[in-house]
Amino acid sequence: MTITVFVLGCILTLLSYCCGTTRATTTASSKEETGGLDFDRCGFTALDHATADLVFFGNGPLAPISEEELVDECVRLRASLRSTKRYANNCTMGLGQVMLKMFVEAARKELEYRCDGKGKEEYLKLTPCLVEKSGPALHKCNVRYSGYLQAITEQNKTDRIPFACCYHAKFERCVTNVAKKCGEEHAKFSAKIVASMSEELNDTVCRKWVRNPSLCRSLPKVIPVKSPRYMTMLPNLMSILDTI
């Protein structure tokens, strides 16, 4: 029943993105086009490296705290976005492709807001404290969530979506609570960024559990992998969707 609800919730989005039917095996035509990454085998390690910069504190405990650093960061983010988009087009299929394209679109909007729009001033105002007081802990939220997801990939197939959705909510709470070390404004700012990246996920795949948190409380506990193979949540989420 869970799988059926999930598929029905995503089918319109699936059609709108015109997903491919085969996983590509060819290399990218230019490393410049893919941010320097080689997608020869379309492995999840390439996806992990491509998306790490796009995830809030996904690549480590640091973030730009000056306008000059933000300019350099935006160059890297655009390269990462191109890499991830190409991976989505050439290396994915079905529901996994839908999810990754949702992420790409959300990341594109956040990049435009932060790098070219009104969000630049807010970002430079709030990130210095986050880096100083919360950077390592914010990165740990990502690593721990990746550890949970890796453990979830070993669960029964019918349980993977509920677990992934419920522990995604736990990840969002982790980011918000850690950012509160700098104050409520920083917490709301951090929560907004994380929510923007997962809005489509929460509205489709995870809608049932987002609307009924009690369903999460009824699930058994999952012990996270202490040293997950991936820095970010994307590869394991793709793996979970690929098994449906």
Taking each continuous run of H as one helix and of E as one strand, the counts in the chain are 11, 0
Q: Please, which residues have CB within 8 angstroms of residue 63's CB and are 6 or more apart in sequence?
A: 57, 73, 127, 130, 131, 135
pLDDT over 90 at 181, yes or no: yes
- 221 vs 163: CA distance, rounded Å: 9
* Rg of the Cα atoms in the chain: 17
CA distance 206 to 201: 6
pTM (two decimals): 0.82
pLDDT, tens digit (0-9, with 9 covering 90-100), for 113-129: 999 888 999 999 999 99
Q: At a CB cut-off of 8 Å and minimum separation 6, what does 140 contact?
A: none
Summarize pLDDT for 33-75 with one digit per residue, the tens: 444 444 456 899 999 999 999 999 999 999 999 999 999 999 9
If one counts every other C-beta atom within 10 angstroms of the C-beta of residue 234, the result is 26
How many angstroms separate the CA atoms of 161 and 96, rounded? 13
Residue 135 gets the label, from left (phi > 0), alpha (psi -120 to 50) or beta, of alpha
Q: What is the mean pLDDT of the chain?
A: 85
Instruction: Give how far Cα 239 sits from Cα of 29, 47, 161, 225, 243, Å.
Output: 26, 12, 11, 16, 7
Give me the mean pLDDT over the 182-205 stretch: 92
